[in-house]
Amino acid sequence: MTSRLLPLLLATGLLVRAAPAQPDDTTASSPEDAVRATIDALFDGMRAGDSSAVRVVFHADARLHTALGPSDTSAVTRTLLDAFVEAVGQPHEEVWDERIWDVEIRVDGPLASAWVPYVFYHGTERSHCGVNALQLVQQGNDWRIVQLTDTRRQGCDVPAEVRK
């Protein structure tokens, strides 16, 4: 079963780091800090293989997409949120470690957008890299991911501090 779920996770470009059960957005000093805490909680939960920690950062109506291929022949694939969350929680021998850098966040009232370059490691092996483009909405004091679209490619300029 794990061999069938890994391609699903790789296709999402979201494989990543370990998380608290819920981001503590109430202690953030700015809306941008609160959005960043939600993004970090996603990657932390994925690294830990904690499906509950991953589920809580998503809005109930969240959508996940991957944009594949060069711009002149691109395709978009969709991953169902439930399938993604279930796959994250499946036991796996290697840590799924998605490392991010140069995160750009913009906030306007209850809407936030983030541009998140990443590199994904399956254990110690580099798998792929790209960008996660996220849209988040504020629900009370919390920020929830309502849309995540990523790209996947082999070649990226990855800063030394995030390389394995």
Domain range summary for the chain, segments of one domain joined by + = 2-158
Q: Are 19 and 48 in contact (CB under 8 A)?
A: yes
Residue 98 is predicted with a pLDDT of: 96
Mean pLDDT of the chain: 87
**What is the Cα–Cα distance from 134 to 112, expressed in whole angstroms?**
8
The CA distance from 129 to 35, in Å, is 22
- Report whether pLDDT(115) > 80: yes
Q: Band of the pLDDT at 71, cuts 50, 70, 90?
A: confident
Q: Looking at residue 163, what is its pLDDT?
A: 93
Q: Which fold does the domain 2-158 belong to in CATH? A: Nuclear Transport Factor 2; Chain: A, (3.10.450)
The pTM for the full model equals 0.82
Residue from 12, 8, 40, 24 nearest 116 by CA? 40
| Closest listed residue to residue 81, CA positions, set 42, 34, 117, 47 | 42
Q: Is the pLDDT of residue 1 over 70?
A: no
